[in-house]
Chain A
């Protein structure tokens, strides 16, 4: 395997594998809660973290993680307390994060626009050893939370009010979902880029629910699709000189289209089978005697 020879490709493939698992894992819960675009919002906020990293000459991954976590917690608090004007507040956060990132980058010496673009759209082949350690640690956290607490997270994302009455620590779990989503954004930002992070959280889930009937299958299949497109996209970008992030997202959309096309005949066959099993019998009612026993 010549592709595994260069060290940077080993790192790239490992990063792709981790992103392929983590992004759809947390994405499933976000989609379940109908917050599919939350990843996108966090991605915008992360830019400020990247800019701050340039300015302070520190590792952008760790600084971005810190800023994302703060941003995601603020978003979660806005969601749970100020429902009425939540969308406006979120918009402020998104665009503030974006503008802050551009401003801070331009103020720093290290940051050039080209450098910023590598975070916006991903540049998997420039992932450093130091980045890789951060990505592995953060990915481990995301996998632990999403798989270990999947039943609790399922309950709060399915019906938050019911979950609260069963005594689950819903506020804590909601914050954990927000923090995990934020961490996932920074795990994925070197691979697919901040503007495309959300795609890898949402599209594999959307694709897998075309054919899945259970949550467990949606969850597992989404991670499978995520790994498939992330690794094959990275491989493609090695052989053909194309950006990895865009390749991965386009592949994911391809899988979505393929599964959607597959789902229609599958559903038809399923319907035919139940029809054959149950059948329709016309029951002719027997002659009725007039009974009017309702006294009003």
Chain B
């Protein structure tokens, strides 16, 4: 990963993601009710919120998987409809498994994340090396020939992240990558993310709680009922809530006088 994606000078100040007044519905239920979300180059932004707050819908709208009923979306300074450069985006969808209906190896699944960088889907030497590098980043290079059916939950998640990293993206969008992941894998994923940030990648990550990623997060956007209720430094309450050893039962007396109501604790 020797290229410096953040170094392109022509639009260095342009937001990588600019979502303005976004509204979206699932069925007839409004899920996003005017969401503004801006992610600048090199930023690491966490999207937080309770279940049903619309955080997953928001990122799926950003990657074009949920149609917006209103508002605007720009990626790398281009309106979403005219954006074609998907090789610059690495996406980790919300999944619990990397497996499909037939057996596949870790290497085969991760290689599918490299397709956007290949011509006619032919994997060259550089592509194979990128696949290995992506697997090294998540500590799974020794499992490249293993079937994904033989992996644990945390390992599935690591494979899904390696698949997104295989394309060496400038923008990494992850939907709950820590869901159902053991602590050891969470640490590995935090390290992998740290390496991406170090090489200049921009990250938008949906999280239920900050956990081991907390030190990496520049900014947190908290959604509740499809509206942004907080946009700024990671909320303290959420950070402490996610400390290891915290057992999630006792009520908080947060250090902030006016506690930010994230909806996470209810």
Which residues in A have some Cβ–Cβ distance to B below 8 Å?
28, 31-34, 36, 149-152, 154-155, 157-159, 161-168, 205, 209, 212-218, 294, 296
Contacts and interface: CB of A to CB of B under 8 A. Distances in A.
Nearest to B167: A166
Contacts of B240: 296
Contacts of A296: 240, 243, 246, 250, 252
Given A151-B115, A164-B65, A32 B147 contact: no
B63 interface: yes
Nearest to A33: B101
A205 B240 CA distance: 50
A214 B108 contact: yes
B86 A154 contact: no
B91 interface: yes
Interface string B85-99: 111010101010010
B109 interface: yes
A154 B108 contact: yes
Contacts of A168: 115-116
B5 to A, nearest CB: 17
Contacts of B98: 159
Nearest to A35: B101
Given A32-B102, A151-B115, A159-B95, A214 B147 contact: yes
Q: Can you list the 3 inter-chain pairs with the closest CB atoms, starting with the nearest?
A: A167-B86, A151-B121, A155-B112
Contacts of A158: 100, 104, 109, 112
Interface of B: 63-65, 84-87, 89, 91, 93, 95, 98, 100-105, 108-109, 111-113, 115-116, 118, 121, 123, 145-147, 163, 167, 240, 243-246, 250, 252
Contact of B65 (A152, A165, A214, A218): A165
A26 to B, nearest CB: 13
Most A CB contacts (10 A, CB to CB) among B104, B112, B145 go to B112
Nearest to B240: A296
A163 B105 contact: no
A63 B151 CA distance: 47
B112 A294 contact: no
A150 B120 CA distance: 11
B101 A215 contact: no
Given A31-B101, A33-B101, A167-B86, A161 B147 contact: no
A233 B208 CA distance: 57
Given A154-B108, A213-B146, A215-B104, A162 B93 contact: yes
B102 A28 contact: yes
Most B CB contacts (10 A, CB to CB) among A33, A34, A167, A216 go to A167
A214 B105 contact: yes
Contacts of A34: 100-101
Nearest to A28: B102
A218 B103 contact: yes
A147 to B, nearest CB: 11
Contacts of B91: 162, 165-166
Given A36-B101, A149-B121, 13 more contacts: A32-B100, A33-B100, A151-B111, A151-B123, A154-B108, A155-B115, A157-B100, A157-B101, A161-B93, A213-B105, A213-B145, A215-B105, A294-B244
A154 B103 contact: no
B84 to A, nearest CB: 7
A163 B114 CA distance: 11
A294 B100 contact: no
A294 B63 contact: no
B108 A152 contact: no
Most A CB contacts (10 A, CB to CB) among B87, B103, B121 go to B103
A216 B108 contact: yes
Contacts of A159: 93, 95, 98, 100, 112
B246 A167 contact: no
Contacts of A152: 115, 121
Contact of B86 (A165, A218, A294): A165
Contacts of B112: 151, 154-155, 158-159, 162-163, 166
Contacts of A157: 100-101
A33 B101 CA distance: 6
Contacts of A218: 102-103
A150 B113 CA distance: 14
A149 B115 CA distance: 11
Nearest to B147: A213
A149 B121 CA distance: 7
5 contacts: A151-B111, A158-B109, A213-B147, A214-B103, A215-B103
A162 B84 CA distance: 15
B244 A165 contact: no
Contacts of A165: 63-65, 86, 89, 91, 93
A165 B84 CA distance: 10
Contact of B103 (A155, A161, A213): A213
A143 B103 CA distance: 21
A161 B175 CA distance: 12
Contacts of B244: 294
Given A155-B115, A296-B246, A296-B252, A167 B84 contact: yes
